[in-house]
Amino acid sequence: MAVWHNRSEWLSLLEELFDPLTERRLDAVGLAPGWHALEVGAGRGSIASWLATRVGEGGRVVATDIDTTLLEERDDSGVEALRHDVLVDDLPSETFDLVHCRAVLVHLDDPRRALERMAGWLKPGGVLVAEEPWTDVGRLSPDPVVAEAAAALGETLDGSFARRLPSVLREIGLERVKADAELSFFEGGTPLAAFYGRALEGAGTRLVAEGRLEAARVRELQDRFGDPAFRDCGWPHIEAIGWKPAPL
């Protein structure tokens, strides 16, 4: 979410915590050998590599990111790494059976436009799968320090877009749209606490640098998420899927 931390370490934590959920969701849409798949905002490429094992030698996986350094370090022969800005750079229309993104749209100035472009890269009958965190839920934390940090995070990204995902997929012409969400509670000192704590710390640190938040509040937040006695819930991780109409 924020850029103050080591990107590789952050993405490793994201993979550890959320790849199993993503893999279950992608398997559920019928992913099969021979499919052509596009992974937008691929990060370190863990899901792209997993997709390559599913589509096999007869399939194709293209993994994009605005920074492909970590993708190229992975050196996976089954994945084509492509430096690409989803809002700017084109791809051939009607190319992929599956387009997937995770925790990408929440960072974009125009997430709806990004989804329209992704839908255009789908073959007729192809499926778009988008997973996004509904971060605004953090504002409802009963802990005032956490709620304040979540409000700060909301100044750096659109924390409400995930809830609008299924509506937007319908509006851009996809059909058989459905959505679900997974929400987990956590204890301080766990990897899940580290994930949410680092995201919120990043937002708070930016406000401290701007003189809009006391540094002591960030230290309080760090103490909360490191304390095994602390309990809270994370953000709902919403999935929305939609299928591009196929010719009759």
Q: What is the mean pLDDT of residues 141-146?
A: 89
Is 169 within a domain?
A: yes
Q: Kindly list the distances between the CA atom of residue 152 and the CA atoms of 19, 145, 181, in Å, as whole numbers in the listed order.
A: 27, 11, 23
pLDDT tens, residue by residue, 50-71: 999 999 999 999 999 999 999 9
**Domain carrying residue 84:** 7-135+157-183+235-243
Query: Does residue 148 sit within a domain?
Result: no
b/e 20-59 (16+ beta carbons within 10 angstroms → b): eebbebbeebebeeebbbbbbbbbbbbbbbbbbebbeeeb
Q: pLDDT tens for residues 203-216? A: 777 777 877 777 88
The answer to the question of residue 215 being in a domain is: no
pLDDT in tens, 213-238: 778 888 888 899 999 999 999 999 99
Number of domains present in the structure of the chain: 1
> Residue 178 maps to which CATH number?
3.40.50.150
Q: With respect to residue 19, please indicate whether it lies within any of the assigned structural domains.
A: yes
* pTM reported for the whole predicted model: 0.92
Question: Is 189 a member of any domain?
Answer: no
Decide if 88 is inside a domain.
yes
Q: In the predicted model, what is the mean pLDDT of residues 172-190?
A: 96
Q: What is the pLDDT of residue 8?
A: 82
Do the domain assignments include residue 223? no
144 inside domain = no
Q: What are phi and psi of 41, to 5 degrees?
A: 70, 55
